[in-house]
Structures are given as C-alpha cells and as structure tokens.
Chain A
Amino acid sequence: MQYQIINNQTDKKKIRFQKELDDFAKRLQNLVNKSDCLLNMLRKASDKNK
C-alpha cells in the first residue's frame, strides 16, 4: 500500500515556525499590555486617594 508522508518539508516548517513565534510574541505582549492597563487603573485610583 502506498502511504503518503505529509508535513515533512523542513523549509516550509521554518517559515511557519517563525510566523507562529511572531504571533506568540504578539499574544504575550497583549497580556503584558493588559497588565500595564490594570496597574495604571490602580495608580490612578491611588492618586485620587491622595
């Protein structure tokens, strides 16, 4: 029986992996941005309390 092997092209994978890594970095940066926003909310609340 003839089996076909798919997804075994290294060059293609390299490009894909880099793109996935870039997306991953963006997702994590979004989380960091969210945390910045949350901290800013607290800072503002703290300033108001002064």
Chain B
Amino acid sequence: MKNKFETTIGSQQGVNKTEQKIIKSSSELDNIFRQSQEIVDKASAEIDANLQEAQKLQEKLGEEVEPIVDQLQDLKSEVAEEGAAFKTRMERLNSPYVLSPELAKILEVARILEKPLLLEGEPGTGKTSLAYALAGHEDMPIIHVQCKSTTSAQELLYTFDVVKRLQDAQLGKDVSDLSQYVHLGPLGRAFASQKQVILVIDEIDKAKRDFSNDLLHELDQMSFFITETGEEIAAKYRPIVIITSNHEKDLPEPVLRRCVYSYIEFPNPEQMTEIVKAHIPDVEEKLLQSAIQKFYEIRQVDGLKKKPSTSEMLDWIRVLKAFGVNEVNDDIPCPETLLKYKEDLELIVGSKQKNYEESQEIEMPQLLTAVINGGKVVRLKTKSEYIDYEPDSSIYTLLANEGYKFITPNNYKSRSFDIKSKGVCRVDDLTFALYDLKNSNKDGLYLYNLLKKNNLIESEFMVTDKPLKFVEVEESNELYTKGKDEQNRIIYRTKDGKFIYEKKVVPEEING
C-alpha cells in the first residue's frame, strides 16, 4: 500500500545523503535565536519599566493594588518563559525525522480514520519529535500541550477570567460582554483555528487518570460549549491529534479504543545510523559505526537506571566530534553524556572511569579559556592555534608543578561562566575542570598572578551588565550566546543577561 508519506516524500529517498540539510545552529537558527532574544530583551525592559513605576505607585496607593503589581511581575516571568519555550520549539521544528515505513503507515491510518494517534514508547524514541517534524514537513501549525499531574481537561478547552471581570466591574467598566473574559486553551485554539493544526498532547500518562477520560467527548465530537456564553466552539478543520505516552501508567480502555495506537520501538542500529546522519551530516563513518556499536552494548547492560536514548546518542556524537575523537574503542569517552546516574556510570565505566581521568591528567593540558576563582576569566597563550589538539606543555608543566590537575567534570553540561569556588574551569567547547589538589585554600588570585608572571595570559574576559551588540553569532546554547561585536571582539551573552568581552593583555600590563 502506498501511503501519503511515500507519495509526498518518497522521491527524497534517492537524494544524495550529503544533500540532506538541516539548519545548523551556527547559521539561520542562531539568527532566529538572536532576534528572539532581542524581542525578549525589549519586552522585558518595557515590562520592567512599567513594573518599577507600578511599585512606586503602590507605595502611594497601598496594599489594595498589590494584585495588579503581582500581575505585572507574572507578565515579566511569562516573557522569560515564552522566550525559553520559543527556543525549544524552534529546535524541535528544525529537527529532521527518520520515519520508518511502519510508522508512516500508522500515520496514514490515523489520518484516514480521523482518529487521534496514540504513540507509546520509552523516552527518547522520537514521539514528540515526530509531531514537530510532521508540522514542519506539512507546514502546519502545531499546538503543544505538555501534561503535568495538575493539568485539567477544562483548562485545555478554555478558562473564564472571573477575577478580571470583577476588577473591571470595580473600575466601572462595561462587563456585560462575557466573551472578552474567555481565554481559549490549547484544544480550544486548535478547534477554533482557521487552518488544520497538529495538536500534540504530550506525556498524557503524567496527567491524572480522569484527564484523558474527560477529553473523550470533546475529541470525539471535535466541539465544546462555553458554559458562560453559550457559544459552541466546533472544529472547522479537524486537528491531527498526536498523543504521546511513556507508558508510566496504563491509559483507560475507552481512550485506547478511540485512538490509533502505535508502540514506537527503540531505533535499531540501522535506523540510529540514519538518525545520526540526518542530524549530524558531517559525522565520520568510522566514529559513527564504532559509537553506535558501543551505544548498543551499553543499552544491553542489565541493571541500568536509565538506558541512554537517541538524544543522548546525538549529544555524545557531537561531544566526541568536538573532542576530536575519531573512533570509540574499549574505553568510553565522555560517558557522562550518555549516562545520567552515578550508579549507571559506576556500572558501565567503573574503574575504567578512574583510569580515564588519570590519563586525562597526563594527556590533557588543553586549557584554552579558563575561569579562575577570584573572578578572573582568561584566555591562555598557546604555541599553536590548535591547542585543542596540540597541548602546550609549558602551561601544563607550570600548573602541574603547582599541584593542579585536569579532570573531566561529571557532567560536561555543567560548563558555565560562574566563578568556581576552587580551581579553574574551561568554558569553551571542551570543558575541563582544573582542581587544586595540593591546597584547597589556595587563592585563585595566586594562580592568576602565576600565569601572568609567566606571560601565559593572552587576554582577559571582562564581565559587564552593559549590553554589547552582536554583529555575528557563532554559537548559542542554553548557557550562552557567543559571537563577535563591531570591533570584531569575541563577546558572549550569558543566560543571566551579562555580557562578556575579551580584552587583550598587552605586555606592559603583564610586566606592570
């Protein structure tokens, strides 16, 4: 049977793999992120100014107006949340999806029967990603409902703002038009949409058992009434409903009956190969195959608290590439990227982990950018511009003689601009922590002065609250945005809104 996906995208099967494109984080997507950050900054600043004025007025007007000031504060938080949600949404919409023939068929069945598609499977099997990829592929709007234990069916349909109506009444406003106090929820918006949308009800098993039962009628009828106004909201275009579940608990039988059900198996090595290639097209075959073999070996180990999933696999490959690893052999480089529990790390890596760290101590004097406790952020002088791969032994020897050693932190994601209480932490692509073993009370300033004295500091990173303008963005992640300013300086904007720029250390300063 030929299905819609075969007919619409089947022609892509013959496309040369190198032509498979994703918008890389360093280009268009970053540009979108930069623009969205500017929008967030602008909105935050405006709401902040309003809030400050409101707080001053509150001093005059008293506690009575506190709820209004609270609402302003909520709006400020909402802006930040919207910003974060936008980024996640864009990343999801940017992800290509490797669709198996079975899943393509199931999608078509759900479409023909006009029934919600219930996808079950362990976390990381691409249930939510599928909904977003479909939205991107079919150019359809997507509405996402993230279920929590507190999510109610009613809030998905609509809410009626009684408080606002009361406030308006107190202010003498006309409150007779009730529709102005109705706020449609995600399901309500999906029904009211003038275009067919994809509605993803994510992790339904996290909501209370009643939640799914309560939605049955509305999902069947594709309509509901707003009690307060008597208005009926009926779907003009039946949304494509995708419900996901991690199978933390069984769903009620009536729900199962009304859905087209599919259990997504964890991708097999062949499919995983395609997934990695789709996300990281420039991955070397040798690295890919050896990493996939190791990945599935790890997944087969009994007793893991959390088996590594696809997203961890993708992260792992990215990290291995960044570390310049060409092939995975017996040792497991960067296991903390794959395994999220200490017990799992011990189970899989065990004593190997210790050896690995010890070997790093000798082999990895790869300090490029460092945060030194005491508030100094520096770029160290190197003999080679490729210091990542050609360690500068003079730095290492100096630091080793002073009792410092390099280790890999437990979680590479812990990289940050925060000043560590001890030691030095690398903050660029590769993250290493340098801990002071000899004397934990040693002042970071001592290390800073030592490096300075030995003419090993190329530049210092200065931290400022004053916004710096990006003319080019090179990298953006959950912790910082990195790019260049008008003076071609490398600048960063950290997640807490601080700006960091690089200032060359001239010899006079060192000698002085």
Contact A7 B137 (CB under 8 A): yes
A42, B36: Cβ atoms under 8 Å?
no
In the bound complex, CA of A40 to CA of B362 (Å): 65
Which residue of A21, A25, A46 is within 8 Å of B61 (Cβ)? A46
Known: A12-B136, A32-B46. A4 touches B57 (CB 8 A): no
Residues of B82-128 whose CB lies within 8 A of A: 82, 86, 89-90, 93-101, 104
With A31-B43, A35-B72: A42-B58 Cβ-Cβ less than 8 Å: yes
Please provide the chain A residues from 3 to 50 with a CB less than 8 Å away from any CB of chain B in the complex.
3-10, 12-14, 16-18, 20-21, 24-25, 27-29, 31-32, 34-36, 38-39, 41-46, 49
B278: nearest chain-A partner, CB-CB: A5
Task: Known contacts A1-B270, A32-B47; decide if A16 and B22 are in contact (CB<8 Å).
Answer: no
A3 in contact with B99 (CB, 8 Å): yes
B54 touches A4 (CB 8 A): no
Given A1-B101, A6-B133, A13-B28; A36-B75 close (CB under 8 Å): no
Please determine whether B136 and A42 come into contact, CB atoms closer than 8 angstroms.
no
B487 on interface, CB distance cutoff 8 Å? no
Asked if A8 and B36 make an inter-chain contact with CB atoms under 8 angstroms apart, the answer reads no
Cα(A20)–Cα(B140), bound, Å: 11
B403 on the A face (CB < 8 A): no
Q: Are the CB atoms of B13 and A42 closer together than 8 Å?
A: no
Cβ-based interface call for B363 (8 A) = no
The answer to whether B78 touches A4 (Cβ under 8 A) is no
- Please state if B75 and A7 are interface contacts (CB–CB under 8 Å): no
Smallest CB separation, B41 vs chain A (Å): 10
Q: Contact between A10 and B22 (Cβ–Cβ < 8 Å)?
A: yes
Once A and B bind, how many residue pairs between them come within 8 Å at the CB atom?
149
Contact B137 A31 (CB under 8 A): no
Instruction: Establish whether residues B50 and A16, one from each chain, have CB atoms under 8 Å apart when the complex forms.
Output: no
What chain A residues lie within 8 Å of B22 (beta carbons)? 8, 10
Q: Measured between C-beta atoms, what is the minimum distance from B259 to chain A in Å?
A: 22
- Contact (Cβ within 8 A) B57 A20: no
Q: How large is the interface on A (under 10, 10 to 19, 20 to 34, 35 or more residues)?
A: 35 or more
Name the contact of A3 in the complex, choosing from B51, B53, B100 (C-beta under 8 A).
Answer: B100
Report the Cα distance A17→B98, complex, angstroms.
21
B36 touches A24 (CB 8 A): yes
Cβ of B207 to closest chain A Cβ, rounded Å = 25
Residues 139-166 of B at the A interface (beta carbon under 8 Å): 139
CB distance from A32 to the nearest CB of B (A): 5
User: What mask results when residues 282 to 311 of chain B are scored 1 for a CB within 8 Å of chain A, else 0?
Assistant: 000000000000000000000000000000
Contact present for B72 and A8 (CB under 8 Å): no
What chain A residues lie within 8 Å of B61 (beta carbons)? Answer: 42, 45-46, 49
Given contacts A7-B97, A17-B29, contact A31 B75 (CB under 8 A): yes
Cβ A8 vs Cβ B43 within 8 A: no
Within the complex, what minimum Cβ distance (angstroms) separates A43 from chain B?
7
Which of A13, A18, A38 is in CB contact (< 8 Å) with B136? A13
A28–B79 CB distance below 8 A: yes
User: Is the pair A8, B278 in contact by a Cβ cutoff of 8 Å?
Assistant: yes
- The stretch of B4-12, B219-227, B347-355 that contacts the partner chain: B4-12
Q: Is B439 an interface residue (CB 8 A)?
A: no
- In the complex the two chains form, is B10's CB within 8 Å of A24's CB? no
Determine whether the beta carbon of A6 is less than 8 Å from that of B99: yes
Q: Does B2 contact A (CB under 8 A)?
A: no
Which of B29, B40, B65 is close to A28, meaning CB atoms less than 8 Å apart?
A: B40
Which residues on the B side are within 8 Å of A4 (C-beta)? 5-6, 9-10, 12-13, 98-99, 101, 104
Taking a contact as CB atoms under 8 Å apart, the answer to whether B46 and A24 are in contact is no
With A and B bound together, what is the CA distance between A39 and B57 in angstroms?
A: 9
B50–A36 touching, CB < 8 Å: yes
Q: Is B314 an interface residue (CB 8 A)?
A: no
Docked pose: A4 CA to B104 CA in angstroms? 9
Given contacts A6-B137, A8-B96, A28-B82, contact A21 B36 (CB under 8 A): yes
Q: B26: CB under 8 A from chain A?
A: no
Chain A residues packing against B (C-beta within 8 Å) = 1-10, 12-14, 16-18, 20-21, 24-25, 27-29, 31-32, 34-36, 38-39, 41-46, 49
Interface pairs (16), CB distance under 8 Å:
A1-B100, A4-B5, A4-B6, A6-B5, A6-B136, A7-B95, A16-B139, A17-B32, A20-B86, A24-B39, A28-B40, A32-B43, A39-B53, A44-B171, A45-B61, A46-B57
| Closest CB pairs A-B (n = 8) | A8-B96, A7-B136, A7-B133, A28-B43, A6-B137, A10-B21, A39-B50, A42-B57
User: Which residues of B pack against A, CB within 8 Å?
Assistant: 5-6, 9-10, 12-13, 20-23, 28-29, 32, 35-36, 39-40, 43, 46-47, 50-51, 53-54, 57-58, 60-61, 65, 68-69, 71-72, 75, 78-79, 82, 86, 89-90, 93-101, 104, 132-134, 136-137, 139, 171, 270-271, 274, 278
20 other A-B residue contacts (CB within 8 Å) besides A34-B71, A49-B60: A3-B101, A4-B99, A6-B5, A6-B9, A7-B136, A13-B93, A13-B136, A14-B23, A18-B32, A20-B89, A21-B39, A24-B82, A31-B82, A32-B43, A34-B75, A38-B71, A41-B171, A42-B57, A42-B61, A49-B61
